[in-house]
Chain A
């Protein structure tokens, strides 16, 4: 059995907790609940005939990413950096967090998720633009509401990187 610590990072209200709930519990709620500190969840996935237990640290949304508690990032083998497709400014936060995270865990894998794909018409910039801007890391579009791209995002993280 392999256990991996995964961090969910991103600006507030980008849908980190919703992504976890969708992935772990197959649930979604429109009600926004801010995460205080950190919430730990777990999901068992199977990668290449091996059980991988993903221990997901859902960190509270942080706009001033510099102040994120770096100790929470320590030892993570991967991070999902979540941006809100309708808010372009969240991409900047993601970028900063990515740097902080990789400084802490140089061997870890990061993946950028542009969330709220269900609100595509309200996207701040077109999808192609998002792709173009996020050329520094693997990225995907997700919707915690519909579940689109969620499983794949987590499983991709389960496959790659090391603690």
Chain B
């Protein structure tokens, strides 16, 4: 190239080519040309030829070079030789070149993809192929995993339960299985330096019995190395998952580091993606520290926050739920059984109480009941004088959960008849009602005339009373009248010897007349009349004088009448007083009787 460059530089117009134009300037000046023009047309032609010759003499090397340049393509060979070095220098100095080329490369790729897709696919297959294969494998693995779980559970009691759930919720069975199988917990996460296998940072959800993270990360790195060595040539064959009874170690690999997540249970496919995303974030954030890493893990302390974010868990509360369900069912069953027992006992007790109530009511005077222990509404007849139902039964009907419909009735039960007699007669103190035989009322004792009169009106018409015996009942008023009549009978009103004038001023006469008046008033009030028989008594020393006797009778009659007595007065034949103390004294003796017109007398017996 340098030779060619040198060759070209020989033709440089700044070197040899500068002289001829200066030396040829005089003949080609405009003045010279003007002189030629003054000649004939031949001379013009000669002039043109000369001019052409001059021009050829002056610029032919440039013309030749120009022609050569126009005919040949640019000097790409030297450029091709210098281009790689130039690009390298440009890349070292900055991203300017990449920026400049970006558009061109993109367009070129686009055109290539349109015009010849097969070729492009072939070109990028080594890059994309493994990634695609890995992705497909992961998807298939997840599906198989679900299928395995589904098969394992399809015939178990749990599987049947899940099928019922699927039918109930309308979800596909596989989805239900997946839903129930997704129980996992990310217990520990290790960020491991790829080259050394040293632990950069870790996070754990466990508080105890944790294996030393440095040892675990070392062993994981060793296993990784072993796998990669053993399956050499399969770069995409980096270990992604390790399974150890109940545990899975998910691994994500980056250029400088890797993440390992210790998972208990079956994690969802998305966890691997999260792992990869977190790893990418960490590698980006700590790119410089990772480049310089020489064992000092201090710069990665804060990466724990990111790792903590991966400590997720999805707790399947299947057992808890089912146990809870069992408890619930057991509880409900116990409640139902208890309820049923309680109800049975309550029903039995209620029936027993109702039976007792019915029996009591049916035995009670004044009741007639129609109902049953299994009936909630009873009906019947009840005498208002019967004892209240609650008193008979011993508890309220509300407690028995029974409604009663009573119709009033007059009962002929002896007890109710007696009660009715007592209620209606309301005998005063001193009067006793006796029932010597059914339907026979006997009244004994003393009572006022008024009450006796009322009782006489009521008692015979009492239902259930066939006969009333009044003999034992004493009319207190009548008794008093009889006593007074007895005491006044034979009352003596004295007269002076031979005199027919009643000395009404004498105290004894006044008292006796007043007594008579009182008796008269009492008998009148009671209902009757006092009958007074007057008999003149002649003194021993008096001669029989009929006229005098008559006058004395008249005087007494006069005295009684003047006192306002309503009594009946009759006269007896005057007789000499031959009896007792009054025999020596003349006077008038009163024979007193009371004629009572009271119905008791008529109704002694009925």
Contact with A along B204-227 (1 / 0, CB 8 A): 000000001011001100100110
Q: Is B74 an interface residue (CB 8 A)?
A: no
Q: Is the CB of B198 within 8 A of A5?
A: yes
Count of interface residues, chain B, beta-carbon cutoff 8 Å: 23
- Beyond A69-B229, A71-B228, A75-B197, whether A163 also contacts B295 by CB under 8 A is yes
- Beyond A3-B198, A69-B226, whether A57 also contacts B218 by CB under 8 A is yes
A41 partner residues in chain B, CB cutoff 8 A: 215
Q: Is A111 an interface residue (CB 8 A)?
A: no
Q: Is B396 an interface residue (CB 8 A)?
A: no
A76 partner residues in chain B, CB cutoff 8 A: 196
Contact with A along B74-96 (1 / 0, CB 8 A): 00000000000000000000000
Q: Is B406 an interface residue (CB 8 A)?
A: no
Q: Is B342 an interface residue (CB 8 A)?
A: no
Q: Is the CB of A2 within 8 A of B197?
A: no
B222 partner residues in chain A, CB cutoff 8 A: 37-38, 40, 57, 72
A71 partner residues in chain B, CB cutoff 8 A: 225-226, 228-229
Q: Is the CB of B296 within 8 A of A37?
A: no
Q: Is the CB of B196 within 8 A of A74?
A: yes
Q: Which of A3, A42, A74 is close to B295, meaning CB atoms less than 8 Å apart? A: A3
Shortest Cβ distance from A4 into B: residue: B295
Shortest Cβ distance from A77 into B: residue: B295
Contact with B along A87-105 (1 / 0, CB 8 A): 0000000000000000000
Q: Is B293 an interface residue (CB 8 A)?
A: yes
* Secondary structure of the B contact surface, majority rule: mixed
Q: Is A162 an interface residue (CB 8 A)?
A: yes
A127 partner residues in chain B, CB cutoff 8 A: none
Q: Is the CB of B214 within 8 A of A55?
A: yes
Q: Is the CB of A74 within 8 A of B218?
A: no
Q: Is B199 an interface residue (CB 8 A)?
A: yes
Q: How many angstroms from the CA of A5 to the CA of B197 in the assembled complex?
A: 8
Find the residue from B229, B294, B298 having the highest chain A CB count within 10 A: B294
Shortest Cβ distance from A162 into B: residue: B294
Q: Is B195 an interface residue (CB 8 A)?
A: yes
Q: Is B49 an interface residue (CB 8 A)?
A: no
Q: Is B264 an interface residue (CB 8 A)?
A: no
Q: Which of A55, A74, A162 is close to B225, meaning CB atoms less than 8 Å apart? A: A74
Q: Is B193 an interface residue (CB 8 A)?
A: yes
Number of A-B contacts (CB under 8 A): 73
Find the residue from B218, B295, B297, B298 having the highest chain A CB count within 10 A: B295
Contact with B along A32-47 (1 / 0, CB 8 A): 0000011011100000
Q: Which of B214, B225, B226, B296 is close to A42, meaning CB atoms less than 8 Å apart? A: B214
Shortest Cβ distance from B293 into A: residue: A163
Find the residue from A41, A69, A71 having the highest chain B CB count within 10 A: A71
Q: Is the CB of B298 within 8 A of A3?
A: no
Q: Closest approach, in angstroms, between the C-beta of B286 and any C-beta of chain A?
A: 15
Q: Is the CB of B295 within 8 A of A162?
A: yes
Find the residue from A3, A42, A55, A71 having the highest chain B CB count within 10 A: A3
From 355 to 388 in chain B, residues with beta carbon under 8 angstroms from any chain A beta carbon are none
From 1 to 23 in chain A, residues with beta carbon under 8 angstroms from any chain B beta carbon are 1-5
Q: Is the CB of A69 within 8 A of B225?
A: yes
Q: How many angstroms from the CA of A42 to the CA of B197 in the assembled complex?
A: 13
Q: Closest approach, in angstroms, between the C-beta of B190 and any C-beta of chain A?
A: 13
Shortest Cβ distance from B214 into A: residue: A42
Q: How many angstroms from the CA of A43 to the CA of B384 in the assembled complex?
A: 107
A37 partner residues in chain B, CB cutoff 8 A: 222, 226
Q: How many angstroms from the CA of A75 to the CA of B212 in the assembled complex?
A: 20
Q: How many angstroms from the CA of A37 to the CA of B296 in the assembled complex?
A: 27
From 51 to 71 in chain A, residues with beta carbon under 8 angstroms from any chain B beta carbon are 53, 55, 57, 69, 71
From 280 to 305 in chain B, residues with beta carbon under 8 angstroms from any chain A beta carbon are 293-298
Q: How many angstroms from the CA of A57 to the CA of B298 in the assembled complex?
A: 22
B229 partner residues in chain A, CB cutoff 8 A: 69, 71
Q: Is the CB of B297 within 8 A of A75?
A: no
Q: How many angstroms from the CA of A57 to the CA of B195 in the assembled complex?
A: 14
Q: Which of B197, B214, B294 is close to A53, meaning CB atoms less than 8 Å apart? A: B214
Shortest Cβ distance from B216 into A: residue: A40
Q: Is the CB of A55 within 8 A of B293?
A: no
Q: How many angstroms from the CA of A162 to the CA of B196 in the assembled complex?
A: 11
Q: Closest approach, in angstroms, between the C-beta of B333 and any C-beta of chain A?
A: 57
Q: How many angstroms from the CA of A49 to the CA of B275 in the assembled complex?
A: 36
A1 partner residues in chain B, CB cutoff 8 A: 296-298
Q: How many angstroms from the CA of A162 to the CA of B293 in the assembled complex?
A: 10
From 70 to 86 in chain A, residues with beta carbon under 8 angstroms from any chain B beta carbon are 71-72, 74-77
Q: How many angstroms from the CA of A2 to the CA of B194 in the assembled complex?
A: 16
Q: How many angstroms from the CA of A11 to the CA of B99 in the assembled complex?
A: 56
Q: List 28 A-B contacts (CB under 8 A).
A: A1-B296, A2-B295, A3-B196, A3-B198, A3-B199, A3-B214, A3-B296, A3-B297, A5-B196, A37-B222, A38-B226, A40-B197, A40-B218, A40-B222, A42-B215, A55-B197, A55-B214, A57-B197, A57-B222, A69-B225, A69-B229, A71-B229, A72-B225, A75-B198, A77-B196, A77-B294, A77-B295, A163-B294
Q: Interface on A for B, CB 8 Å cutoff? A: 1-5, 37-38, 40-42, 53, 55, 57, 69, 71-72, 74-77, 162-163
Q: Interface on B for A, CB 8 Å cutoff? A: 193-199, 212, 214-215, 218-219, 222, 225-226, 228-229, 293-298
The 3 closest A-B pairs by CB, nearest first: A75-B196, A40-B218, A75-B195
- With A71-B226, A76-B196 already in contact, 4 other A-B pairs whose C-beta atoms are closer than 8 Å: A3-B198, A41-B215, A72-B222, A77-B294
